Amino acid sequence: MDFEQLARIEDELTRIQKTYEIFDEDTRLSASPAARVEFLTTVRYIERYLRPGARLLDVGAGAGAYSLYFARRGYRVSALELAQANLRAFRAKLTPQDAIELIEGNAVDLGRWPDASFDGVLLLGPLYHLHSEADRQRCIAEARRVCKPGGALFFAFISNDMVHLTEFCYRPDYFTKGSYDKETFRLEDFPFVFHTVEGCRAMLRKGGVKILHEVAADGASELLADKINALPPEDYAQYLRYHAYICEKPEFLGMSNHLLFVGEN
């Protein structure tokens, strides 16, 4: 499977499946100190709202990075994932001590769980795969339904406005040859679906989510990866503190490959 073959697949769920035969989700958040910034930032916000013992649903759980982290710290974790490649990688990491309920399924239908089952729901992926606004709203509505009133909701997006700079770093002809509208700078939604900060806000407000935090989850970490990965531990720790200091500043928000929105149900 290559990108050209992937682009020809019309059925969305099949395309999501095949996407993860190309992208190695298993190591995405752990491959290097730079890659770790998104994970550490997201964990910090989740831990701010949910304590060990809390019931957590990880929707679009990928290879299980968040599910495993929280289950091993005393949270009661259920996880749902669509892509076989990611389910396989997730299952391969499970030990007999990991009491995680792992379900194969689609984020637009969480019908196996009753209303108000969870203290918190993670939706860190599906909203940047689903092309139709109606499906994204179904996904948000389902996450809200299974979350308790007043519970915590966590949403991830990929920032339309940052991806241009990231792509430019990989290919010098990007600004003339890249796949985006040359007037509006709207990216072609392939292989992911991209959103502006304002677009994320509007989507979540339409879904009735009360937004508590808008966060630049990884900031410029991918662009600065060589420098970040060369840092001695003390400097890396201070870089993480700097990132924590800027990550909610509105002037930095769109300049992040990944965005994290935290909401109250």
Ligand X SMILES: C[S@@+](CC[C@H](N)C(=O)[O-])C[C@H]1O[C@@H](n2cnc3c(N)ncnc32)[C@H](O)[C@@H]1O
Task: Catalog residues that contact ligand X under the rule CB under 6 A.
Answer: 16, 20, 25, 29, 60-62, 65, 80-83, 86, 106-108, 124-126, 129-130, 156
Nearer to ligand X, 72 or 227 (CB): 72
Nearer to ligand X, 62 or 151 (CB): 62
232 vs 259, which CB is nearer to ligand X? 259
- In the complex, what is the shortest distance from the CB of residue 173 to ligand X, in angstroms, rounded to a whole number? 26
CB of 39 to ligand X, least distance (A): 7
Cβ proximity to ligand X, 108 vs 162, nearer residue: 108
- In whole angstroms, the minimum distance from the beta carbon of 235 to ligand X comes to 26
**Quick one: 10 or 181, whose CB is closer to ligand X?**
10
Least distance from ligand X to the Cβ atom of residue 93, Å: 13
The nearer residue to ligand X, 124 or 223, going by C-beta atoms, is 124
| DSSP letters for the chain | --HHHHHH--SHHHHHHHHHHHS-TTTTTTSSHHHHHHHHHHHHHHHHH--TT-EEEEET-TTSHHHHHHHTTT-EEEEEE--HHHHHHHHHH--TT---EEEE--TT--TTS-TT-EEEEEE-SGGGT---HHHHHHHHHHHHHHEEEEEEEEEEEEBHHHHHHHHHHH-TTHHHHSSB-TTT-PBP--SS--B-HHHHHHHHHHTT-EEEEEEESSTTTTTTHHHHHT--HHHHHHHHHHHHHHTT-TTTTTSSSEEEEEEE-
Parallel, antiparallel or unpaired: strands 258-264 and 210-216: antiparallel
Instruction: For ligand X, give the closer residue by CB, 7 or 230.
Output: 7
Return d(Cα 16, Cα 139) in angstroms, integer. Answer: 15
- CA dist 193 and 159 (Å) reads 9
CB 155 → ligand X: shortest distance, Å? 11
* Nearest approach, Cβ of residue 77 and ligand X (Å): 12
Please, are residues 121 and 146 in contact by the beta-carbon 8 Å criterion? Answer: yes
Output the smallest distance, CB 99 to ligand X, in A: 19
